[in-house]
């Protein structure tokens, strides 16, 4: 009976200590988002957003170490959206590159075709 | 009093102005969101991201509780701003992908056109080859036709040459025939003249004479063997001519009369002359003259034609006279 009372008291104390509880899954989600952005070439296509995502993730981890749940959660969420933005911008940039490459390829094909038809006549 | 009112108004205005300034970020975010919501393309390309942005803006607008409200509002504004940026980036990516898809379709069209063009070129090449073959075949046909015409022409020429040769041959034969006919005519003419000559000679040889009794021939003494009534072999040929001549007078009676010279007895000479006249008559009958037309008589030495004093006269007297009697004498 005494033991149970002590445990409840400890939990209550912990809860009181951290005004907002730490969401560790938010840190994980931000971390994997940063990894995805990195894999998508954000170092090249969205370096500012990627750096922001990394810095905020690092700060979030520090805040989590310091048991500042509220700050850690906010920084994790900000890191997540920054990483997602980096990923989206990288995706868009790569799509743009592929489009440009295709446009050039088409142009070349058209020229070859015209040369062919010119040779034919 | 008015001054106090003016101050109050300024304070009031200041208070009014200060409140919206804090909301400038929110206003911009709302306007951006509205622009995104109004854009059909963005809704199509980044629907899920737009919903996330809308949620973020809703949280930003919701009343904030807790101790550090400013930090919280700044945090929510950051999130909303990033969500809006994400919408833009994804929409941009969607547009790029759409363009890429269009370019890929265009590439397919170009390749299709290229393959069609290639097929057309191949077809044109095939057509060109076909025409070339047709032209070659026509040329071969023409050459064949030329050869055939040349052969036909040469055959024609040969045929004409043959014809000319045949005509020449015909002309040659005609000339030969004409020459032969001329020859024949000449021969006939010669023959005719020979016949005429022969008749004349016969007349001469037979010593034909026109007399009052008729045409008279004298067969000379030399025609007979001496003292015989038999005709000499060579005299028979003379008789042939005589027969030929006599046959030309088929209706006249022919009198055969024998004569002698004065030597020997009268009776002997009568018998001899009769025998000789009979011998001639017999010979003429043998050669086909009708016996009824022939009368033979021996006249002896009574009718000399020359002197009996010398040999030439006596020889002339030894004779047989053959007379084609005139119609009046028969």
Tell me B252's DSSP state.
Answer: S
pLDDT tens by residue, chain B, 330 residues = 555 555 545 444 444 444 444 566 889 999 999 999 999 999 999 999 999 999 999 999 998 877 788 889 999 999 999 999 999 999 999 999 999 999 999 999 988 988 888 899 899 999 999 999 999 999 999 999 999 999 999 999 999 999 999 999 988 888 888 888 887 777 777 766 665 555 455 445 666 778 888 888 787 766 776 677 777 766 676 677 778 878 888 888 999 999 988 888 888 888 888 988 998 898 889 888 888 889 999 998 888 888 888 888 888 888 888 898 887 665
b/e per residue B140-153 (b: at least 16 CB within 10 A): eeeeeeeeeeeeee
Confirm if A33 and A80 have CB atoms less than 8 A apart: yes
Distance CA A84, CA A36 (A): 9
pTM: 0.51
Residue B184 lies in a domain: no
Per-residue pLDDT, B7: 55
> From the CB of residue B17, how many other CB atoms can be counted at a distance below 10 Å?
9
Distance CA B40, CA B127 (A): 53
* A116:B114 CB<8 A: yes
Confirm if A69 and B71 have CB atoms less than 8 A apart: no
Residue A16 has pLDDT above 60, yes or no: no
Residue A30 has pLDDT above 90, yes or no: yes
* A85:B79 CB<8 A: no
Distance CA B175, CA A5 (A): 171
Q: What is the CATH number of the domain that holds B252?
A: 3.30.1330.60
Residue B155 lies in a domain: no
Per-residue pLDDT, A77: 96
Rounded (to 5) percent helix, strand, coil in chain A: 90, 0, 10
Among the candidates B74, B107, B140, a domain finishes at: B107
| Chain centroid to CA B249 | 72
Distances (CA, A) of B133 to A51, B73, B125, B127, B199: 75, 88, 12, 10, 95
Residue B138 lies in a domain: no
Residue in A74, A113, A120 closest to B113 by CB = A113
* A116:B117 CB<8 A: yes
Residue B127 lies in a domain: no
| CA closest to B92 among chain A residues | A92
Residue B246 lies in a domain: yes
Per-residue pLDDT, A9: 46
B308: Cβ contacts below 8 Å, ≥ 6 apart: B261, B262, B263, B301, B314, B317
Among the candidates B64, B81, B107, a domain finishes at: B107
The Cα diameter of chain B in Å comes to 244
Our CA-based measurement puts residue A95 at a distance from the nearest CA of chain B, in whole angstroms, of: 6
Confirm if B298 and B187 have CB atoms less than 8 A apart: no
Please state the ipTM of this predicted complex.
0.82
Find the helix or strand (DSSP H, E) in which B68 lies.
Answer: none
Residue in B75, B82, B86 closest to A74 by CB = B75
B73 lies in which domain range? 23-107
* B82:A91 CB<8 A: no
pLDDT tens by residue, A55-96: 999 999 999 999 999 999 999 999 999 999 999 999 999 999
Distance CA A29, CA A7 (A): 31
Confirm if B186 and B175 have CB atoms less than 8 A apart: no
Residue A10 has pLDDT above 50, yes or no: no
Distance CA B184, CA B68 (A): 169
* A85:B106 CB<8 A: no
């Amino acid at each position: 009976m005494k033991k149970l009372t002590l445990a409840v008291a400890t939990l209550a104390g912990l809860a009181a200590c951290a005004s907002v509880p730490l969401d560790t899954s938010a840190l994980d989600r931000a971390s994997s988002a940063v990894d995805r952005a990195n894999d998508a070439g954000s170092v090249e296509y969205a370096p500012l957003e990627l750096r922001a995502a990394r810095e905020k993730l690092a700060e979030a981890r520090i805040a989590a170490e310091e048991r500042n749940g509220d700050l850690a959660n906010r920084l994790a969420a900000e890191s997540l959206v920054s990483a997602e933005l980096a990923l989206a911008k990288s995706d868009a940039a790569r799509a743009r590159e592929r489009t440009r490459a295709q446009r050039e390829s088409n142009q070349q094909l058209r020229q070859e075709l015209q040369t062919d038809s010119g040779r034919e006549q | 009093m008015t001054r106090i009112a003016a101050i109050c108004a300024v304070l009031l205005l200041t208070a009014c102005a200060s409140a919206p300034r804090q909301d400038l970020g929110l206003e911009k975010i709302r306007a951006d969101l509205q622009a995104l919501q109004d854009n059909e393309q963005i809704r199509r390309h980044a629907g899920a991201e737009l919903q996330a942005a809308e949620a973020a803006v809703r949280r930003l607008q919701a009343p904030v509780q807790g101790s550090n409200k400013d930090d919280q509002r700044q945090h929510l504004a950051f999130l909303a701003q990033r969500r809006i940026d994400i919408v833009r980036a994804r929409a941009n990516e969607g547009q790029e992908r759409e363009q890429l898809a269009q370019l890929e379709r265009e590439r397919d069209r170009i390749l299709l056109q290229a393959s069609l063009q290639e097929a057309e070129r191949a077809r044109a090449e095939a057509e060109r080859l076909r025409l070339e073959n047709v032209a070659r075949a026509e040329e071969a046909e023409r050459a064949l036709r030329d050869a055939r015409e040349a052969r036909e022409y040469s055959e024609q020429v040969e045929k004409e040459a043959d014809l000319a040769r045949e005509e020449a041959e015909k002309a040659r034969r005609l000339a030969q025939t004409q020459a032969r006919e001329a020859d024949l005519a000449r021969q006939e003419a010669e023959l005719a003249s020979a016949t005429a000559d022969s008749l004349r000679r016969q007349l001469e040889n037979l010593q034909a004479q026109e007399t009052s009794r008729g045409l008279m021939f004298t067969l000379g003494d030399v025609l007979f063997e001496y003292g015989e009534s038999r005709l000499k072999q060579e005299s028979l040929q003379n008789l042939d001519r005589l027969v030929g001549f006599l046959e030309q007078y088929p209706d006249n009676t022919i009198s055969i009369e024998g004569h002698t010279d004065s030597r020997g007895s009268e009776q002997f000479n009568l018998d001899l002359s009769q025998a000789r006249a009979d011998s001639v008559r017999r010979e003429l009958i043998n050669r086909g003259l009708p016996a009824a037309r022939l009368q033979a008589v021996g006249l002896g030495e009574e009718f000399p034609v020359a002197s009996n004093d010398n040999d030439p006269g006596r020889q002339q007297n030894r004779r047989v006279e053959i007379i084609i009697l005139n119609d009046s004498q028969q």
